[in-house]
């Protein structure tokens, strides 16, 4: 299996090189040159546990790591999860919540980043050298990425997060990590500013190569690939093809589901759920992709106006025409907006936006009716699911443990409604971070200190 860029100027890349490249060298995103067809395997795969299923799916995309080595990396990635089968299913009325937050940082990002950390370490052990990981987080990616590589030899990790725009516990999960290879950077700006700085630095190819930069954000194909697994696995737990409702800001999680559908897993359709930062919902309604002001909401991991993984979906929507993709994003970069000219004629997707009032109401009603405590992001998904009652069976993706957002959950349900001992233990621990302006030069200066 080889990989190519959505912008057409990078191709024939092996998987390990794709992992290390992160953002494609032409500024696009890497995708597989062919999408495997899994339909002949489905009946046999229904009987597999999660780890065994993941091993089979990943083998289809990774042919430059020996199967027994890859299988070991997958098993090691999920050994730290508290749920025996990695994921858990909870019935909440007529919706099934796919709980993905039973990893070390209590967020769905662990599913991918525990594996990515092992892949980085494996490749570096083979090739030698040092890797400086640069990432941006709107909440959960940072702590999950740090958990995946903390203390690993040959790796430093620099995580940018918007100052004051992640939950206090999310920040503590990053800044209390004592390992010397972890560097937390609070940026005086929004997550979009953080993400823009990261993409700009990766586009500076001489700098990227000199300082051996690696990516942990979902621009890295390995992130998306690990997420494809849980959509396929879940789809085989139903007698009838389910739909998925996905709370999303960066389009990475829902794009993984889209890839699972293209591979032939039985998935009926997707409900895309945004918060007030509704650039994706607006696109599916109008065909216009237009940057707006970033709104600070109860679901901060979705406070995003530029969805980095949207480019991968657009590549397929535009008939795999890399030239049209380049033109689209050149227009967007120059003007802050671009358009396909009409709403996408894609029956797979429904889309809706959920505000803070509806998020609170959903947390309250779901608890009252079903005894279930949802974090604000999952609540966005559950509210969106309730707007499409005819779309059943329906799986809502549960993205984070509610204890990560006590400011919201406790305000709605009462003090102590959202607690977890691992998070309680963080309070009062010493923290480490630096604060910088929303400047590419300021972040490059940090990376130069690591590399010089």
Supply the residues annotated as catalytic.
109
- Residue at token pair 């890295």: 220
Cα–Cα distances in angstroms (integers) from residue 18 to residues 2, 31, 344, 414, in the given order = 9, 9, 29, 47
What is the distance between the alpha carbons of residues 6 and 30, in angstroms, rounded to a whole number? 6
Say if residues 119 and 135 touch (Cβ distance below 8 Å). Answer: no
Cis link prior to 385 (omega < 30° from 0)? no
- Separation between Cα atoms, residue 19 and residue 107, nearest integer Å: 22
Question: Would you state the structure tokens that stand for residue 194, as one six-digit string?
Answer: 């953080």
- Contact status, residue 394 vs residue 364, Cβ threshold 8 Å: no
CA dist 269 and 248 (Å) reads 15
Instruction: Answer whether 172's CB lies under 8 Å from 146's CB.
Output: no
Dihedral sign, Cα of residue 18, residue 24, residue 326, residue 287? positive
Burial group, residue 38, by CB count within 10 angstroms (0-12, 13-18, 19+): middle
Relative to beta strand 337-339, strand 88-92 is: unpaired
Cα distances (Å, whole numbers) of residue 296 to 187, 206, 421: 15, 35, 27
Question: Alpha-carbon distance 123 to 101, whole Å?
Answer: 27
The stretches of 371-439 forming alpha helices (DSSP H) are 376-386, 406-413, 421-424
**Residue in the structure block whose two tokens are 């709370």:** 247
Tokens (6 digits) for 362 = 């959903």
Cβ(362)–Cβ(378) under 8 Å? no
């Amino acid at each position: 299996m080889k990989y190519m860029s959505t912008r057409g100027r990078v191709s024939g890349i092996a998987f390990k090189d794709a992992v290390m490249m992160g953002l494609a060298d032409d500024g696009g995103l890497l995708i597989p040159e062919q999408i495997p067809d899994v339909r002949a395997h489905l009946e046999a795969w229904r009987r597999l546990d999660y780890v065994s299923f993941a091993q089979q799916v990943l083998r289809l995309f990774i042919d430059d790591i020996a199967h027994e080595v890859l299988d070991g990396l997958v098993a090691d990635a999920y050994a730290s999860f508290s749920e025996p089968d990695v994921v858990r299913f909870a019935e909440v009325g007529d919706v099934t919540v796919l709980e993905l937050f039973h990893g070390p940082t209590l967020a769905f990002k662990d599913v991918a980043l525990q594996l990515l950390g092992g892949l980085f370490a494996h490749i570096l052990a083979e090739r030698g050298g040092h890797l400086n990981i640069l990432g941006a987080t709107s909440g959960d990616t940072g702590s999950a990425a740090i958990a995946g590589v903390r203390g690993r030899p040959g790796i430093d990790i620099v995580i940018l997060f918007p100052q004051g725009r992640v939950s206090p516990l999310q920040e503590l999960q990053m800044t209390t990590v004592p390992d010397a290879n972890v560097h937390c950077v609070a940026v005086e700006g929004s997550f979009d500013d953080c993400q823009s700085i990261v993409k700009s630095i990766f586009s500076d190819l001489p700098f990227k190569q000199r300082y051996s930069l690696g990516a942990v954000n979902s621009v890295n194909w390995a992130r998306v690939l690990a997420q494809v697994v849980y959509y396929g696995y879940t789809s085989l737990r139903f007698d009838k093809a389910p739909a998925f409702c996905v709370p999303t800001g960066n389009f990475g999680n829902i794009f993984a589901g889209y890839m699972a559908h293209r591979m032939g897993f039985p998935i009926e359709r997707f409900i895309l759920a945004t918060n007030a930062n509704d650039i994706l919902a607006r696109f599916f309604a109008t065909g216009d992709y237009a940057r707006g002001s970033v709104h600070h909401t109860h679901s901060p991991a979705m406070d995003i106006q530029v969805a980095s993984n949207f480019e991968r979906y657009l590549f397929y929507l535009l008939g795999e025409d890399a030239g049209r993709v380049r033109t689209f994003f050149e227009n967007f970069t120059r003007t802050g907006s671009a358009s396909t000219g009409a709403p996408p004629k894609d029956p797979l997707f429904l889309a809706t936006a959920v505000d803070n009032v509806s998020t609170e109401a959903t947390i309250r009603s779901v608890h009252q009716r079903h005894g279930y405590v949802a974090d604000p992001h999952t609540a966005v998904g559950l509210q969106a699911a309730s707007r499409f009652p005819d779309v059943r069976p329906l799986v809502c993706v549960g993205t984070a443990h509610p204890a990560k957002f006590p400011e919201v959950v406790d305000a709605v349900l009462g003090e102590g409604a959202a607690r977890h001992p691992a998070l309680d233990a963080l309070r009062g621990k010493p923290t480490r971070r630096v604060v910088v302006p929303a400047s590419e030069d300021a972040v490059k200066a940090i990376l130069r200190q690591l590399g010089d």
